[in-house]
Amino acid sequence: MPIKRQLISFLLVGILNTAFGYGLFALFIYIGLYYPLAVLFSTILGVLFNFKTIGNLVFGSSDNRLIFKFVLVYVITYLLNIFFLWLFKRLGFENMYINGFVLVVPLAIISFILNKFFVFRR
């Protein structure tokens, strides 16, 4: 699949994955689960779901052995997100809503590149 099409697929699957993760979180809250547990369980299940959807729908891979690399990409993008939010604040940009919004596209691109060349190698 051409890289442009993979990137578009990655973004569309990302929307699906976000809806799935939030849906799980909302369901867990609805059934009365304590919110830290709701976040924990929806994150774990969300990462597993994301691994399957990104692997299969974007990169055409169903190799479950790649899950550890996939989780590592999540850790890397999380740490980059925290670092740049800290940096923006340090530079005087106090609005975390705007800061977080500004980081969505660059972090999505970094995630795509890491998944394409490090995790799935396609």
- What's the CA dihedral at 79, 52, 7, 9 to 10 degrees? -140
Domain span holding position 56:
3-119
Q: Say how many domains are in the chain.
A: 1
**Whole-number average pLDDT of the chain:** 95
Q: Which of 72, 61, 73, 63 is nearest to 111 (CA)?
A: 73
Higher pLDDT, 11 or 1: 11
On the question of pLDDT at 1 being above 80, the answer is no
